[in-house]
Structure 1
């Protein structure tokens, strides 16, 4: 029995010695083979542009482990210049350096038997990546004559490559964009905390697998705080964190922003015009059901659901600077979506509690007035420019709820005909109960006019618009409406009492209620031709303003009649002249500043 154990132990010892000897032999001989194969693969797969280098390579065939130290992928600039001369150079060139790359448990059996490379895991640390993008006009039209795919080139070295998992920590990313002459156009750099990749399979079938992106089942990326100054020099954009997961088909952006980097006065001085200054912040932006494959291969944006949650949009205008007129025909939101340079299809977009604010510096009184739409929420559906989808349902809808001046509840439902050549759309909605003096926040600073009292009971509108005209009905129920105007400075230095002016406006020009004192209910019937220089949102407001004026009893005929009476009153000629001037454009002036919010 003792001899048996001696034989067993001897055989085990011999096997251990043979395994250790084999591992030592393979580590000495396979190292050269792997180095040779790797160099050939990199060179052939990149058509000679890239070379690979490293400080150390450790191989343990017994355990199936390979470790590279200070591994680098370099682009040969001489080869790239030659490719440029031959008009074969790609627009993108990469330089990559890795502090370490650890390959664990690669299958020597698969490698020997069928030239397959199967690896359990790859861990990469300290990545420094430089991406240079240089435009070459010939790439816009040139036809790639190399019909050999990446998989076909890889198949010359390996029959397949399978990696169960890849983890990448600390990635430094640097991007530079240049024009054809080499001049730098844009650049940015950033660091990613973590990239996790699972189930990579590269073979003849994996590229066609609809569940794989870049041959993987899952890519999870976490990017920490990011900030980028835009090339125009006016704004910066960024976020606190971003998470991307191809398995969940989701992207989550936290604390995103688009903000000015210079003071307001500097912005308008440099612009030289009243071009709106924007400040946008969102607590979170989430996209679910993203088709990453379509995004990467065709640059199409397709997602099942988009969520914008808790943020603000602030717009600032300065009327002390001129507004450059532009033709706005064909510039409605749905028309712009149809002209996007890429295909987009978002099933639904939800907006949750976003505050919208417009502030303007007036040119006359040098004061800032503000109008707000608080806690704006709602849904947009069928947001797409895909004509195959629109053939089944041609309408994009926006169902929104907000609070005007943090008071009256505003509801509006838009229907946009995406296929209409005339830009057809409809909007139906209204405003609930609120106090009219809430609008003094914009009226008093900009126009030096106040609403002394007024109860808005209900506003309802049902409108239909095109590029050229808006028609529809407008209902406005209110009571106790009174305005307060300031004293008027006359040319002789004397003042006309604001009380007198306010009296004529309140008693003669406007109805203090609807139904009026004679119990006549005034309905607005809007037929408003669009000024081509008006933006889509300004045209909306102008159309609604027509309804407001009609329901308040200010028709054009009545306004002209009142003007005539005022001018014929000899005993108060001077005063009524001022009153007439105030009365003639009163409501237009009240809402003149609000139009600027619609402009943007």
Structure 2
């Protein structure tokens, strides 16, 4: 089978069934009106019988129609069909399956009212050219049962008929200026997988413009299935994710075949539970996402590829005015989720729909990542504000990845609302170990803004730091990260913290902090002699560490040697801290004991004084 034959067959089977029924209806109306019209209206039962016969014949007896009334105004050329139903014959369908001729989609349709305006009946009869101004379909309810068969992709089943071939014996040309379907309900039942899935849509509007069916329209590249354009508008859509942990809501979805674009307005992806209940429902630790998007647009969609191969190829996706929040709880006491293989580019590969976006643009987006530490049980926060940038070659399609296996992101943002940050990512979409690179530059800022992150997660409080620049370049994968970091700063002074059981908050380590600042922490980089300390990065990834956590911990691994706190020094410091802590603990115990002994002495003195007073009172009596 040639590619053209496959595309033609797909075209026939995906042709909107509503429009096809309308064509058959109008064909019978015109034909019988001019050849069988009688003053006593004996044409009406003949018309109805012929209409039903045409539908059976056109669908190979797969469908039959039912309706309560059909009204035709001869003068105006207007017609109305009430309580219309399109019903499939399941026995016929099973025979088609056995003969390997069944379509992938089965339709069940009901329409409350179908109105046709300004049918050009005279021209249709005299010239076999039918023109209609408008067809309006109110409150249609459509059920689509999808079951994909291999024989529809691999076996040629005769020569398919085009819509023109179905009507050419009656008309040589059929044109409809506009078709409006209002407030549609659609129930999509997918039986192609072992587990049947259903998706319901309500409040759907479809507008079809300039339908043309003749001998040449199928070859018109400016048309989409014989139309100049189809617009689909879905209002107030809401659906729960398959795991029931999130609700996805959209105020409106707009799709245009003429513009080849999709517009999503006010999109939200929200957890259905609070954090504690979310983890209980999930049964393991993991990231919790809260996503809000003012608008998402997808342009330059390859419609033919989507309908032919069920692959979404598009040019540009624009995301603007988004609010992205990601929360991770390392203090969660239950089962820990393994994050290996779940980085963004790896999650993209598991999307069920094969897709390729040439470019994803991001504008005016705020990203907040927060993490609760297992030791401190406090939450660190890192923010990226007014984020913009582009991601190119966003794909999970095998053919596209063979041509270009790298997805590249170039992002500009403001770190903690203050420091300009430029970061680049290069993801290897084919790497089994999830390899990627991230590099960038962080501009000038007051180091104290880091406290929201490092106090809860690193037990360090920055007292002062004038950061001039931070450059980094890291190669990473699912298991480790290696690279280097260059940290330029002045006037660094820190306070070391600790978590004490039974006491609220974090406690300062005053004496140890003074020792660290005086003997270990380098105040400037480069120092006064001009010696610069680089920050090598060599970090083994914890399997439970999320993507964002892995990124900042990699940078933290390079920051330590930059400030003079390398592995060798860290080991020495840990020993010193242990010794000092022992001395401090002994001193604290001594202070507590001395205080206790003082209290006891005071108690004894008071008891002796009370005893003397009692003796004096007795003597006075």
Pairwise TM-score range, normalised by the shorter structure? 0.7 to 0.9
1:275–1:539 distance in 2 versus 1, CA, 3 Å: closer
> Could you tell me how far 1:503 is from its partner in structure 2?
1.8
Deviation at 1:257, TM superposition (A): 1.1
Report the counterpart of residue 559 of structure 1 in structure 2: 570
**What is the match of residue 286 of structure 1?**
297
For residues 43 and 216 of structure 1, do their structure 2 counterparts lie closer, same or farther at Cα, with a shift above 3 Å needed?
A: same
In structure 2, distance between residues paired with 1:211 and 1:148: 22
Distance 1:164 1:575, change over 3 A: farther
CA 524–160 in structure 1, closer or farther in 2 if over 3 Å, else same: farther
Tell me which residue corresponds to 2:112: 99
Whether contact under 8 Å (2:285, 2:337) holds in the other structure is no
Residue 126 (structure 1) aligned with residue 138 (structure 2): yes
Cα deviations by residue, 1:217-237 (Å, 9 ceiling, x for unpaired): 111222222112233221111
Partner Cα separation in structure 2 for residue 429 and residue 187 of structure 1: 43
* Contact 1:305 1:346 (C-alpha < 8 Å) held by counterparts: yes
Aligned to 1:377: 388
Task: Find the counterpart in structure 2 of residue 244 from structure 1.
Answer: 255
Mapped partners of 1:21, 1:217: distance in 2: 30
The correspondence for 1:66, drawn from 71, 76, 79, is 79
Distance 2:537 2:155 in 1: 56
Cα distance in structure 1, aligned partners of 2:507 and 2:37: 106
Contact 2:130 2:171 in 1 (8 A): no
- 8 Å contact kept, 1:275–1:323: no
Cα distance, 1:310 vs structure 2? 0.4
Pick closer, same or farther for the CA change 1:260–1:529 going to 2, 3 Å.
Answer: closer
**Which of 295, 298, 309 does residue 298 from structure 1 map onto?**
309
Q: C-alpha offsets along residues 384-438 of structure 1, whole Å, 9 cap, x if unaligned?
A: 4567766776643311011222222211122345566776644331111222222
Counterparts of residues 353-364 of structure 1 (less than 5 Å):
353-364=364-375
Equivalenced residue count is 552
What secondary structure, in the 3-state scheme, does the structure 2 residue paired with 1:541 have?
A: helix
Q: How does 1:468-483 map to 2 (within 5 A)?
A: 470-483=481-494
State the match for 1:506 in structure 2.
517
* Structure 1 counterpart of 2:619: none
Residue of structure 2 aligned with 1:463, choices 474, 478, 481: 474
Partners of 1:447 and 1:539 in 2: how far apart? 14
Answer yes or no: is 1:258 the counterpart of 2:269.
yes
* Kept in 1: contact 2:245–2:272 (CA 8 A): yes
Q: CA deviation at 1:274?
A: 0.8
Residue equivalent to 1:46:
59
5+ long unaligned stretches in structure 1:
1-19, 577-600
The residue aligned with 2:559 is 548
Following TM superposition, by how much is the alpha carbon of 1:554 offset from its aligned partner in structure 2, in angstroms?
2.0
Aligned-pair distance for 1:172? 2.9
Q: Is the 8 A contact 1:483 1:506 kept in 2?
A: yes
1:242-297 deviations in Å (ceiling 9; x for gaps): 22222122221110111112222211112221122211110000122222222222
Q: Secondary structure at the match of 2:134?
A: strand
Q: Which has the larger radius of gyration?
A: 2
TM-score, normalised to structure 1's length? Answer: 0.79
Contact 1:101 1:122 in 2 (8 A): no
* 8 Å contact from structure 2 (residues 230, 257) kept in 1: yes
Q: Does the 8 Å contact 1:566/1:573 carry over to 2?
A: no
Quick one: structure 1 residues 238 and 436, their matched pair in 2 at CA, closer, same or farther if it must change by over 3 Å? same
Provide Cα deviations, 1:117-157, integer angstroms capped at 9, x if missing partner. Answer: 52322332422313143657777988463543343761475
C-alpha separation in 2, matches of 1:89 and 1:572: 85
CA contact (8 A) 2:164 2:213 kept: no
Give the match for residue 326 of structure 2.
315
CA contact (8 A) 1:320 1:362 kept: no
